C-alpha cells in the first residue's frame, strides 16, 4: 500500500459498478426540489468530471446517453483507466475522456470549465492532503453556479463498524499470500470473534448483519472499502467547512427521500432541529437523530435560488419513468422512522400511469385518480419512488432521437461484451439519461433479438463456453437439451415481464 498508491489499495481492482445517483436528471431533480437552479442546460450541454472514477463505468454510461455533454473521468490506477479507454473506443464515446492522473496532476490542467464534479467513494478514503488538493481543484475548475456531489462515511452511524474495519485491516496485514484469500480469512475470523459475544462484540447489535453482508461481497469491494490506509468518517459540519474553502454551500441531500422530514425524524424532534441556526449544525443534528452512516450530499458554488414559481414550473414539467413492472411496487417501505405504508389508492394509479409512458408531474396530477390527492402528494410519492430506484426522473422529450442513436451504439458494445463475461451489466437509457441494470442472461437475450438469432441458443452458446449451466429448483441441469429448454422458458418470462420495461426505457 505504498509508493504511487499513496496508501490507497493497489494490486486489486475495484468492482465494475454504475452509480445512478450521479445521473444528471436525478441530480437536477434533487436540486430543484430544494429550490436551486441546476447547472445542466435544458439542451443537454454541460461538462461533468468524475474524480476517482474507478473503472469509469458511471461516466461511460452517462456519456453513452448524453451526446451533447462532455465527460472527464479521472483515476490514478492505470488498470482502471486502460479498461475504460478500451470501452470508450468500442462504444464510440468521443465525448468522454478517461485520464490516468492523480488529483494533483488533474488539478493543474484546464480552465474553470466544469458544471458538475462528482466525488463518489473518494472523500472518506483519501488523506487530508489529498482532500486539500480536491478543494483546490473545485475552487479552480468548477464554474460559478456549478454542482458538486460528494459521498462519505458519516458519523455517528459509522462508529459501530470502525472496530470491525480495524480487525479486517490488521488481520490482512498479519497474513501472507494473495490479498483476496487474506480478505476471506479476515472476514471469517471476524465472524468467529463475533460469535464469542464478548466485550465490544456483545454491544454491536448490527454487526452480525454487516458481516453477513460482507460475506456476499467480492474481495475487490472489501479491499477498496475497508483496507485503505486513510479511512475517515466525518460529521457533516466538518465536510461542509472543508468545502467552504472552495466557495461551496450545502444544497441538500442527493436522495430526494432524505429531504422529507416526516420520513426521517419523529415530529417532536423537528422543533429541536429548528433551533440550530447554522445549516451545517442542523444537518449534523439530523445525522445524530437518525444515526446515519453514509451521506450523499450536494454542494453548489454560487448557484441561484429559484423563485417559488420557477421551482413549481420546473417540477411540473419534469417527466418520470417507472423502472419496474407496476405490480412490483411494494406496499411498505423502510425509512429512518420505521415502516412506511405506500397508500395503494395513490401509488396504484400512479404506477399504472407511469407504465404507460413518461408523463410529467403536471400530467400525472391532472389524472382523475390522482387529482383528488393533490399535486403535492403525487410529488412526494415520486420522491419516494425515485429514491428507491423504482422510478426515475426522465430527460425532456426534445433531443431523444439523438440520445437514442448514441445510446444504441454504446449498448451494442455492452451486449457484445456479455458474450464473454458479465463484468458490465448496465445499459444506457436515452429516456432517463442514466443506466439500466441487466443480468447477463437478459443481456444475451437482448443481443439475440438485436442480431436476429435464437435467444436460447445464443445464451447457451455463451454460457456453455464459460462452463456454466442453469439450475431449476436448486438442481443443476445437465446437457444442452435441458439447458436450452430452460432458457426458452426464461426467455418467455423475460418477454412478458421484463421486456416491456426495457422498451419503455429505450434500451430494447
Q: Mind spelling out the 3-state secondary structure of 8-64? A: CCCCCCCCCCCCHHHCHHHHHHHHHHCCECCCCCCCCCCEEEEECCCCCHHHHHHHC
Cβ of 270: how many Cβ atoms within 10 Å? 13
Q: Are 382 and 257 in contact (CB under 8 A)?
A: no
- The domain of 373 spans 314-394
Residues 117 and 136 in one domain: yes
The angle at the Cα of 223, spanning 219 to 225, to the nearest 5 degrees, equals 115
User: What DSSP state is assigned to residue 198?
Assistant: -
Same domain? For 73 and 90 the reply is yes
pLDDT below 50 — which residues of the chain?
1-2
Antiparallel, parallel or unpaired: β 142-153 and 70-75: unpaired
Q: Is position 377 within any domain? A: yes
Neighbours of 349 (CB within 10 A): 18
Assess contact for 52 and 29: CB atoms under 8 A.
no
Residues 124 and 26 in one domain: yes
Whether residue 279 sits in one domain with residue 206 = no
Does residue 453 lie within any of the structural domains? Answer: yes
Total of domains in the chain: 4
- Residue 336 and residue 290 in contact, taking contact as beta carbons nearer than 8 Å: yes
Beta strands in 254-378 (DSSP E): 294-300, 319-322, 332-335, 338-341
Instruction: Say which residues have a Cβ less than 8 Å from residue 48's Cβ, sequence separation at least 6.
Output: 24, 59, 62, 69, 70, 71, 72, 114, 115, 116, 117, 118
How far apart (Å, rounded) are the C-alpha atoms in residues 390 and 333? 11
Q: Report yes or no: 183 and 190 within 8 Å, Cβ to Cβ.
A: no
Cell of 463: 454460457
Q: Are residues 130 and 258 in the same domain?
A: yes
Q: What is the length of the chain? A: 508
In the prediction, which pLDDT does 230 show?
Answer: 82
Query: Which of the listed residues 244, 276, 301 is the one where a domain comes to its end?
Result: 301
Looking at the structure, tell me whether residues 350 and 494 fall in a common domain: no
Give the closest residue to 75 by CA, choosing from 121, 111, 110, 40. Answer: 121
**Cα 267 to Cα 13, 199, 264, 409, distances in angstroms:** 45, 35, 10, 50
Q: Of the candidates 59, 69, 61, which has an alpha carbon nearest to the alpha carbon of residue 115? A: 69
Of 178, 200, 227, the one marking the end of a domain is 227
Residues 362, 496 within the same domain:
no
Task: Say yes or no: 78 and 137 in one domain.
Answer: yes
Establish if 307 belongs to a structural domain.
no
Decide if 91 is inside a domain: yes
Position 14 in a domain:
no
| pTM of the complete model | 0.91
In a shared domain, residues 103 and 89: yes
- Spatial contact of 487 and 456, defined as CB atoms under 8 Å apart: yes
* CB neighbours of residue 274 within 10 Å: 9
Q: Partners of 70 in the beta sheet? A: 47
Q: Which of 306, 322, 377 is nearest to 346 (CA)?
A: 377
Do 388 and 448 fall into the same domain?
no
Distance of CA 446 to the CA centre of its chain: 23
Domain boundary (301, 324, 341) is at 301
Q: Are residues 42 and 73 in the same domain?
A: yes
Cβ atoms 289, 271 nearer than 8 A:
no
3 state DSSP class of 300: strand
Residue 3 covered by a domain: no
Instruction: Establish if 4 belongs to a structural domain.
Output: no
Residues 223 and 246 in one domain: no
Tell whether 172 is covered by a domain: yes
Amino acid at each position: 500500500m505504498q509508493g504511487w498508491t499513496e496508501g490507497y489499495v493497489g494490486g486489486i481492482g475495484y468492482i465494475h459498478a454504475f452509480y445512478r445517483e450521479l445521473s444528471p436528471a436525478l441530480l437536477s431533480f434533487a436540486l430543484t426540489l430544494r429550490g436551486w437552479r441546476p447547472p445542466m442546460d435544458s439542451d443537454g450541454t454541460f461538462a461533468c468530471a468524475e474524480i476517482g472514477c474507478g473503472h469509469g463505468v458511471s461516466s461511460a454510461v452517462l456519456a453513452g446517453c448524453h451526446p451533447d455533454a462532455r465527460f472527464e473521468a479521472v483515476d490514478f490506477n492505470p488498470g482502471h483507466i486502460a479498461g475504460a479507454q478500451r470501452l470508450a473506443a468500442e462504444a464510440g464515446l468521443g465525448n468522454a475522456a478517461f485520464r490516468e492522473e492523480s488529483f494533483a496532476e488533474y488539478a493543474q490542467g484546464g480552465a474553470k470549465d466544469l458544471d458538475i464534479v462528482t466525488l463518489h467513494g473518494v472523500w472518506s478514503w483519501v488523506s487530508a492532503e489529498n482532500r486539500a488538493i480536491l478543494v483546490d481543484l473545485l475552487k479552480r475548475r468548477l464554474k460559478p453556479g456549478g454542482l458538486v456531489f460528494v459521498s462519505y462515511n458519516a458519523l455517528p452511524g459509522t462508529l459501530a463498524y470502525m472496530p470491525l474495519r480495524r480487525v479486517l485491516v490488521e488481520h490482512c496485514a498479519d497474513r501472507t499470500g494473495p490479498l483476496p484469500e487474506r480478505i476471506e480469512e479476515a472476514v471469517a475470523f471476524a465472524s468467529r470473534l463475533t460469535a464469542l459475544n464478548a466485550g465490544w462484540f456483545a454491544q454491536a447489535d448490527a454487526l452480525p448483519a454487516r458481516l453477513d453482508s460482507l460475506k456476499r461481497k467480492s474481495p475487490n469491494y472489501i479491499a477498496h472499502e475497508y483496507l485503505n490506509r486513510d479511512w475517515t468518517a466525518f460529521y457533516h459540519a466538518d465536510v461542509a467547512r472543508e468545502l467552504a474553502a472552495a466557495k461551496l454551500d450545502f444544497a441538500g441531500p442527493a436522495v430526494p427521500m432524505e429531504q422529507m422530514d416526516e420520513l426521517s425524524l419523529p415530529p417532536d424532534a423537528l422543533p429541536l432541529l429548528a433551533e440550530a441556526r447554522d445549516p451545517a449544525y442542523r444537518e449534523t443534528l439530523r445525522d445524530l437523530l437518525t444515526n446515519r452512516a453514509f451521506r450523499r450530499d450536494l454542494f453548489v458554488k454560487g448557484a441561484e435560488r429559484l423563485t417559488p414559481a420557477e421551482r413549481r414550473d420546473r417540477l411540473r414539467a419534469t417527466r418520470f419513468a417507472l423502472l419496474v413492472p407496476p405490480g412490483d411496487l411494494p406496499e411498505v417501505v423502510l425509512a429512518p422512522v420505521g415502516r412506511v405504508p405506500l397508500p395503494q389508492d395513490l401509488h396504484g394509479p400512479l404506477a399504472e400511469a407511469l407504465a404507460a409512458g413518461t408523463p410529467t408531474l403536471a400530467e400525472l396530477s391532472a389524472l382523475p385518480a390522482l387529482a383528488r390527492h393533490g399535486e403535492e402528494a403525487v410529488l412526494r410519492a415520486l420522491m419516494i419512488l425515485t429514491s428507491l430506484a423504482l422510478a426515475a426522473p426522465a430527460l425532456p422529450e426534445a433531443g431523444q432521437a439523438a440520445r437514442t442513436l448514441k445510446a444504441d451504439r454504446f449498448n451494442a458494445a455492452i451486449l457484445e461484451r456479455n458474450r464473454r463475461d458479465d463484468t458490465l451489466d448496465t445499459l444506457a437509457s436515452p429516456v432517463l439519461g442514466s443506466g439500466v441494470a441487466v443480468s447477463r442472461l437478459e443481456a444475451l437475450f437482448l443481443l439475440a433479438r438485436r442480431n436476429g438469432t435464437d435467444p436460447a441458443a445464443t445464451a447457451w452458446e455463451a454460457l456453455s463456453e464459460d462452463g456454466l449451466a442453469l439450475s431449476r429448483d436448486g438442481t443443476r441441469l445437465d446437457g444442452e437439451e435441458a439447458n436450452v429448454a430452460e432458457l426458452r422458458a426464461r426467455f418467455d418470462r423475460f418477454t412478458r415481464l421484463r421486456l416491456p420495461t426495457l422498451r419503455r426505457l429505450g434500451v430494447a
